[in-house]
Amino acid sequence: MNDLIPLVNKLQDVFNTIGSDTVDLPQIIVVGSQSSGKSSVLENIVQRDFLPRGNGIVTRRPLVLQLVNIHANEDSEPEEYGEFLHASNQKFTDFAEIRKEIEAETARIAGQNKGISRSPMQLKIYSPNVLNLTLVDLPGLTKIPVGDQPTDIENQTRNLISDYISKPNRHVIILAVSAANVDLVNSESLKLAKQVDPEGRRTIGVLTKLDLMDAGTNALEILTGRVLPLKLGFIGVVNRSQQDIVGNKPMVEALKSEAEFFKHHRAYRSIASRCGTPFLAKTLNNILMNHIRERLPDIKTRINTLIGQTSHELMSYGDSTLEGKSNRGALILRLLTKFASDFVSSIDGTSSDISTKELCGGARIYYIFNNVFGAALESIRPGGNLTVQDIRTAIRNSTGPRPSLFVPEIAFDLLVKPQILLLLQPSLRCVDLVYEELMKICHGCGSVELSRYPRLHAKLLEVVSDLLRERLAPTSEYVESLISIQHAYINTNHPDFIGGGAAISDLVRKNERKRREFEKLNRRSNNSSGVLNVSVQSSVVSKDENDGPLVSDNLKEPGGTKDINLHNGMNNPSSWAQRESFLTYFFGSGNKTDRTVLPDQPISIRNPRDIEELEHKLEHISLDEGVNHLTEREELETQLIRSLITSYFDLVRKAIQDTVPKAIMHHLVNRSRETVQNRLVEELYKEELFADLLQEDENLTNERQKCKTMLEVYREAFEIINEAM
């Protein structure tokens, strides 16, 4: 077994380096009748005296013996010691103590009087002279119960042994021990082994006590396989007798006597080389070796793969010795061109490593335009921040000292302009988001090769970041100016705005209906009583041809006592402005005097006292009255203003939604995309910078070295495996 130790140790190193499990050697399980010599055989295999032996039943609990190889050190031989699972804090360096502990622990669990127990005792022996192997000594089979043993002792031990030797997943070698001085036909161990290993592939027959056979008899027939054929054969051994043990006969001596026995025995002489404990050990060695060999092809394949992977990794780090001075410029040019083209292709979506998991590069910019920016604009509610009072105040203020005859253009301007400014913040945010995205794209560029040169990589990032930053300000300014442009001039002649006027026409139509009803009422009340009404009437002409010219808007001064007809065209509204658009009428045609025509019309006052009353009334209009109570007309005006604001804002929003992404693409994305390569060359392709830029990353140098070392280890391991196979 010692021959195997160096190989297995070397293999163990291989396993350690490739991070694989240890070589899982088969368990060797010793099975036999009571006192057949099982413990003696086991001790011979381990070549240490440590198991209790004696006449009668000795092994009364399964003993699971794990041998652990500890590497011999160049300077010193490591200490051999044993450790029990039940007393794991105690190191047994004296093997006689181990024997005593086994006896004591057996007695503790299985009692003093021949009783047996299924509960296994675990013992680990650490030694430089052992293989990592598990050996199991089991209680011997017995037919007649003695001492404390139960009546079904035979069944109990049989089941116990079966459990150990029939484990289907575990590779188990059965050492079926039979004493030669008992008829082999009655060998319980062989019977049991046959049950679990009918073809005899993993059973070694061990015949003990050949020295105790009756005079004139021998076991030659059995040992030569003529009685019971086993693939691994029968091996005869002569262990130490009870007398030898009592007399402390050393193991070496015992081995010598055994060899002598076979050499001089008449019957066994011819097969002496295939008898005895050394041959048994050698056979076990071969079995273990074959087992290892079976596993080697797998390990070899694994090492081969590792060699391939590691070589590939090593190549990716590049060869430190290759880059001579003459190649530097070409290398830098290649790396920066690659970086620039990575940047461009990420934006264009032509990059080779396009993700299918998440949006990347240009697609994210598209997402910003359509989803983020689009949603931000959609979420703005034009006029949402304007109260009725705001609108009314604006109207009043914009009319100055004149009565508010019509919804004035100034009020509309005043109110719609701040709404347009609401588009500024999301537009600028859109620029920022795209800028950030381009930054991200630039940080995502670069190859494994580039990672070798952290300084070059950092410089590339710096130059592209500078370029992007340079483009950010003009882009933001341009976008800001897009809003300012919209803010600068309110184009009420915009064709889309007139489309928005349809809503107003509805409003106008409603008002017309109300006006007619009101007129009827008014006429009736004028005829019947002298109730004073101040009625300011204005007419509007709808653009809607079906509607024809419409007259609307009545201003009814609160508590007014007299009709003031401000509008001389009232009697024949279609005579003026019939062909004018609603808006031209409403806001004038750009000429302020047009708008003031109507109030300049003579006011018909029927009674001079009415004027006095009016003046009196004006003096007493309280502020509250003026602010809190909306007249019908004011309500209409407010509604109109609101729908006009919405209509106008919508068309501006559309324009902004369209032009901002275009501006960003032109000023920021395309510009940087087009100039990146030239800029990089301009800034970095300078002879004096080459040395600094191409300074290699220290980590990478270390990685390369580690990789090289690993490759050597794998190659060495590969050689070891090749030798072993």
Ligand X SMILES: Nc1nc2c(ncn2[C@@H]2O[C@H](COP(=O)(O)OP(=O)(O)OP(=O)(O)O)[C@@H](O)[C@H]2O)c(=O)[nH]1
Which positions lie near ligand X, rule CB under 6 A? Answer: 32, 34-40, 53-55, 57-59, 140, 208-209, 211-212, 238-242, 245
In whole angstroms, how large is the CA radius of gyration of the chain?
53
Q: How far is the CB of 34 from ligand X (least distance, A)?
A: 4
The least CB distance from residue 140 to ligand X, in Å, is: 3
In 3-state terms, what secondary structure has residue 489? coil
The least CB distance from residue 118 to ligand X, in Å, is 15
Q: How far is the CB of 209 from ligand X (least distance, A)?
A: 4
Give the Cα separation of 174 and 575 in Å (integer).
124
| 598 contact partners, CB below 8 Å, separation of at least 6 | 405, 406, 538, 566, 567, 569
Structure tokens at 180: 């030669």
State both tokens at 12.
Answer: 């163990």
Nearer to ligand X, 242 or 601 (CB): 242
Indicate if the alpha-carbon torsion angle 112, 114, 115, 121 is positive or negative.
positive
Cβ-based burial of 576 (10 A; exposed 0-12, middle 13-18, buried ≥19): middle
628 and 393 in contact (C-beta within 8 Å)?
Answer: no
For every residue of 490-537, DSSP letters joined together read --TT-HHHHHHHHHHHHHHHHHHHHHHHHHHHHHHHHHH------EEE
Shortest spacing between CB 57 and ligand X, in angstroms: 4
**Phi/psi at 331 (5° precision):** -65, -45
How far apart, in whole angstroms, are the C-alpha atoms of residue 16 and residue 90? 28
- Minimal distance, residue 39 CB to ligand X, in Å: 3
Angle at alpha carbon of residue 179, lines to 178 and 185, rounded to 5°? 60
36: phi then psi, degrees, rounded to nearest 5: -75, -15
Q: What is the DSSP letter of 173?
A: E
Least gap, CB of 278 to ligand X (angstroms): 15
Helix spans in 629-686 (H): 632-664, 671-684
Smallest separation (angstroms) from ligand X to the CB of 265: 13
Question: For residue 427, what are the CA distances in angstroms to 374, 382, 439, 648, 658?
Answer: 10, 16, 19, 18, 11
Q: Which C-beta is closer to ligand X: that of 38 or that of 515?
A: 38
Of the pair 39, 187, the CB lying nearest ligand X is at 39
Cβ atoms of 550 and 517 within 8 Å: the answer is no
As measured in angstroms, the least distance from the Cβ of 50 to ligand X is 12
Burial of 714 (0-12, 13-18, 19+ CB in 10 A): buried
Q: What is the DSSP letter of 186?
A: G
Residue with the two structure tokens 């027939």 = 221
In angstroms, give the least distance from the CB of 715 to ligand X. Answer: 47
Residue among 142 and 511 whose Cβ is closer to ligand X: 142
Nearer to ligand X, 34 or 533 (CB): 34
Minimum Å gap between C-beta 254 and ligand X is 10
CB 558 within 8 A of CB 572: no
Q: Which is nearer to ligand X, 240 or 515 (CB)?
A: 240
Tokens 């030898």 belong to residue: 244
- Name the nearest CA neighbour of 212 among 242, 251, 177, 175: 242
Residue whose CB is nearest to ligand X in the complex, by number: 140
Give me the least distance between CB of 121 and ligand X, in Å please: 13
Query: Would you tell me the crossing angle of helices 632-664 and 409-421 to the nearest 10 degrees?
Result: 40
Tell me the C-alpha distance between 634 and 399, whole Å. 13
Of 34 and 638, which CB lies nearer to ligand X in the complex structure? Answer: 34
Please report the DSSP string for 98-155 in residue order: HHHHHHHHHHHHH-SSS---SS-EEEEEEETTS-SEEEEE-PPB-SS--TT--TTHHH
Whole-angstrom distance, CA of residue 36 vs CA of residue 161: 15
Least Å distance between CB 181 and ligand X? 9
Smaller CB separation from ligand X, 66 or 208: 208
The distance between the two most distant Cα atoms of the chain, rounded to a whole number of Å, is: 167
Q: Which is nearer to ligand X, 58 or 314 (CB)?
A: 58
Return the number of the residue (36 or 156) whose C-beta is nearest ligand X.
Answer: 36
Taking the least distance from each CB to ligand X, the nearer of 142 and 552 is 142
Q: Which is nearer to ligand X, 241 or 309 (CB)?
A: 241
Q: Rounded CA gap, 427 and 462, in Å?
A: 27
Identify which of residues 212 and 531 has a Cβ nearer to ligand X in the complex: 212
First to last CA, the chain: 18
Looking at beta carbons only, is 250 or 499 nearer to ligand X?
A: 250
**How many other CB atoms are there within 10 angstroms of residue 526's CB atom?**
12
State the nearest-atom distance from the C-beta of 182 to ligand X, in Å. Answer: 12
Query: For ligand X, which is the closer residue by CB, 243 or 352?
Result: 243
Whole-angstrom distance, CA of residue 716 vs CA of residue 722 = 10
Q: Which is nearer to ligand X, 39 or 427 (CB)?
A: 39
Compute the least distance from the CB of residue 277 to ligand X, in Å: 10
Least distance between ligand X and beta carbon 166 (Å): 20
